[in-house]
Structure 1
Amino acid sequence: MTDFKIATGAEQPINTSAALAGAKFEQGIPVGINSAGKMVPADADSASTIMAVGVAFGPVDDLADYSGMPDAVQSAVEANRVLVDRDRIAAVKYGIELENNDADSGFSPGEVVYLAPGGGFTQTRPTDASGDLVQILGTALTAERIAVHVVPSDVVA
């Protein structure tokens, strides 16, 4: 499993899109806008294509996950977390680097990183006749670090 987090500082330019959070997800994953206008995980799969508009600037939580918790916990979650179907979340298009804290990506430095079928990052460009979206998300700087530059795409394999 990967654990991407934003690895660059606030002094760098931040270029974002924002929308109502439509699903629970972690910081640093590719996200896009669904047909309801909500920010959700991006996916290159032809059966469920959501083109990436950027990478999630923060995590999104679901208050329903805390329904059995004491009121104080639920109140703290409501006050301190971006919540599904309640709050807006930003997606960063470029100007940052992501670093995988799980150290299991194995990217080839200098090579393009694409949106993967099923979501996430891959260096394998879709080449079959499946109709999967081909979208560049950035360039690998090291085996575990990506320079993000999300490029809109309507190209399918």
Structure 2
Amino acid sequence: MVHARIATGAEQPINRDGGLAQAVVEEADLVGLDENGDVVTADADSASPVSAVGIAAAPTDDLSNYDSAPDTVRSVVESERSLVGRDRIAFINHGVIVENADEDWDFTPGEPVFLAVGGGYTQAEPADASGELRQVVGVAIEDGNALFLNINYDYTVA
């Protein structure tokens, strides 16, 4: 899994919104909205497409994942993370640089970056007859391991 992080501008309120967290996400994961307007993971997959509305400004967690953990661990998770089904999370839709700390994207700078099948980022466009979402989420910059985020809400289905 890619270790993407927000490099600039995460505190800017003009380019963000929020909703009730309904999925476990990490900072800079692409997120969308479900039929209730809650924040879920974005995915270009034709079987269950969810268009991206932005990237998560912070991680979320599911407290039930820690049912067998000591109370001190559960307390730390509850105090340090937004929780699925309980807390609102913010998402950012443009104007920040997203860096891949793993440095394994190898994107071509200046070319568009798309929402990937399974979530995440890709420069591979979906096949014409696949039924997958084709949504540009930014443009690759620098050494190909960063992108300038600019979610395009005018997506198509390939």
TM-score by length of 1: 0.93
* CA–CA distance in structure 2, aligned partners of residues 10 and 71 of structure 1: 32
Q: Would the aligned equivalents of 2:10 and 2:57 in 1 still touch at CA under 8 Å?
A: no
Q: Would the aligned equivalents of 1:17 and 1:53 in 2 still touch at CA under 8 Å?
A: no
1:16-95 equivalence runs, <5 A: 16-95=16-95
- Aligned AA for 2:156? V
* CA–CA distance in structure 2, aligned partners of residues 65 and 13 of structure 1: 31
Where does the alignment leave 5 or more consecutive residues of structure 2 unmatched?
none
* CA–CA distance in structure 2, aligned partners of residues 49 and 17 of structure 1: 21
Q: How many Å apart are 1:72 and its aligned residue? A: 2.1
* CA–CA distance in structure 2, aligned partners of residues 80 and 152 of structure 1: 31
Question: What secondary structure is seen at the aligned counterpart in 1 of 2:49?
Answer: coil
1:74 to 1:13, Cα distance in 2 relative to 1, 3 A: closer
TM-score by length of 2: 0.93
1:13 to 1:69, Cα distance in 2 relative to 1, 3 A: closer
Question: What secondary structure is seen at the aligned counterpart in 1 of 2:148?
Answer: strand
* CA–CA distance in structure 2, aligned partners of residues 13 and 127 of structure 1: 36
1:104-143 equivalence runs, <5 A: 104-142=104-142, 143=144
Matched, 1:153 2:154: yes
Question: What secondary structure is seen at the aligned counterpart in 2 of 1:65?
Answer: helix
Identity %: 49
* CA–CA distance in structure 1, aligned partners of residues 55 and 36 of structure 2: 19
Where does the alignment leave 5 or more consecutive residues of structure 1 unmatched?
none
- Aligned AA for 2:154? S
Instruction: Show CA shifts across 1:16-61 (max 9, x none).
Output: 1211000111111110001232211100111110010001111111
Where has structure 1 moved over 3 Å in runs of 4 or more? 9-14
Q: How many Å apart are 1:14 and its aligned residue? A: 4.6
1:5 to 1:55, Cα distance in 2 relative to 1, 3 A: same
Q: How many Å apart are 1:9 and its aligned residue? A: 4.1
Q: Would the aligned equivalents of 1:45 and 1:133 in 2 still touch at CA under 8 Å?
A: yes
Instruction: Show CA shifts across 1:116-145 (max 9, x none).
Output: 111111111113201111111000003100
* CA–CA distance in structure 2, aligned partners of residues 3 and 50 of structure 1: 21
Q: How many Å apart are 1:153 and its aligned residue? A: 2.7
Question: What secondary structure is seen at the aligned counterpart in 2 of 1:52?
Answer: coil
